[in-house]
């Protein structure tokens, strides 16, 4: 399916503008992260108390949140299993399960059964943080190696730079919105990395097909034209893919506010918008400049 035919947008010719926009967004995101003291880590990373409870008669999630808030508890609440079952996460290990149960039974006028209790210590949170960072870095390294062998080092390096660009901006905006960073957000970032690299590979594959026509001797004056043509020919596919992914995510943001999946959808929405922009405006532009510099050095 193609709804943009014979597109002739001079994307590569405006690459300095894209660089300026990206640099501005990265700086703003970095400043936001610094001012916020880094991501707002949740219980999974900082440590605390996790409870799985069952309410009888079944209570609504909004009421559970309201009762806990009125009792002075800062908790993350999500539904779990059947109606009336919830997972509660508290950032303090000093909070007791019995005190929480008593507050809920009083506020909800329900019988509360504690199905599971877990304590997450600070050392466990630190280990989980390191594992999350390691996972993201390893995934980017594997992407670099794959694209290096599949295409060449230039495309691999440019794609990984774009991935760092996407992750920093998405995480910065998410943090500035005051949202909590939890394990599902790590999963969202890994999903975003896979999504962004897929777009970059499609663009790189189309450009590679065009470069084959010139063999190893690619005219310096033709490089921008070749890359621009490749990006334009994949533009329709990129936009359709992004829109079909964004529609369900935006639906979640509209109708699932206050749920755990909301944050997952939020960072994915931010990331897909930024990732689509970087796949179109950044990756090919970086490779073009690399090609030009290397060609000039060879001739010098």
Provide the 3-class DSSP secondary structure of residue 248. helix
Residue-level pLDDT, tens digit, the chain, 300 residues: 555 566 678 888 888 999 999 999 999 999 999 998 888 877 777 777 888 888 888 888 888 888 888 888 888 787 776 788 888 888 766 678 888 888 888 888 888 888 888 776 666 666 777 777 787 788 778 877 887 787 778 888 888 888 889 889 999 999 998 887 877 888 888 888 888 888 888 888 888 887 777 666 666 667 888 888 888 888 888 888 889 989 999 998 888 776 668 888 999 999 999 988 988 889 888 988 888 787 666 555
- Which tokens is 234 given? 């994949």
For residues 10 and 284, the answer to whether their CB atoms sit within 8 Å is no
Backbone angles phi, psi at 118, to 5 degrees: -135, 140
CA of 96: how far to CAs of 59, 118, 121, 173, 246, in Å?
A: 21, 11, 14, 34, 41
CA–CA–CA angle 174, 271, 262 (5° rounding) = 55
Class of domain 12-41+124-299: mainly alpha
From the list 285, 294, 138, 266, the residue with the least C-alpha distance to 200 is: 285
Domain with CATH 1.20.1640.10 in the chain: 12-41+124-299
Domain 48-120 has CATH 3.30.70.3400: yes
How do strand 40-41 and strand 180-181 relate by DSSP bridges? parallel
**Taking the model in full, what pTM does it have?**
0.77
């Amino acid at each position: 399916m193609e709804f943009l035919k014979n597109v002739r947008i001079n994307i590569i010719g405006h690459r300095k503008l894209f660089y300026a926009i990206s640099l501005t967004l990265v700086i703003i995101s970095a400043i936001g992260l610094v001012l916020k003291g880094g991501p707002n880590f949740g219980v999974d990373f900082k440590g605390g108390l996790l409870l799985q409870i069952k309410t009888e008669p079944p209570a609504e999630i909004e009421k559970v949140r309201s009762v806990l808030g009125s009792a002075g508890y800062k908790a993350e609440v999500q539904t779990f299993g059947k109606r009336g079952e919830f997972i509660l996460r508290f950032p303090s290990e000093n909070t007791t399960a019995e005190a929480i149960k008593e507050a809920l039974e009083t506020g909800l006028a329900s019988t509360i059964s504690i199905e599971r209790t877990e304590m997450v210590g600070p050392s466990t949170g630190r280990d989980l943080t390191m594992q999350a960072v390691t996972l993201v870095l390893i995934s980017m390294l594997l992407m670099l190696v794959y694209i290096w062998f599949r295409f060449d080092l230039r495309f691999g390096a440019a794609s990984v730079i774009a991935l760092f660009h996407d992750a920093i901006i998405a995480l910065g905006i998410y943090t500035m919105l005051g949202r909590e960073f939890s394990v599902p957000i790590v999963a969202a970032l890994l999903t975003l990395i896979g999504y962004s690299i897929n777009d970059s590979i499609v663009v790189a594959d189309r450009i590679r097909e065009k470069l084959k026509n010139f063999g190893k001797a690619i005219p310096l004056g033709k490089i921008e034209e070749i890359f621009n043509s490749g990006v334009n020919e994949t533009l329709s596919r990129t936009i359709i893919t992004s829109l079909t992914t964004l529609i369900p995510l935006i639906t979640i943001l509209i109708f699932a506010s206050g749920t755990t999946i909301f944050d997952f959808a939020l960072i994915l929405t931010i990331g897909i918008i930024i990732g689509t922009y970087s796949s179109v405006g950044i990756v090919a532009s970086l490779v073009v400049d690399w090609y030009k510099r290397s060609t000039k050095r060879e001739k010098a």
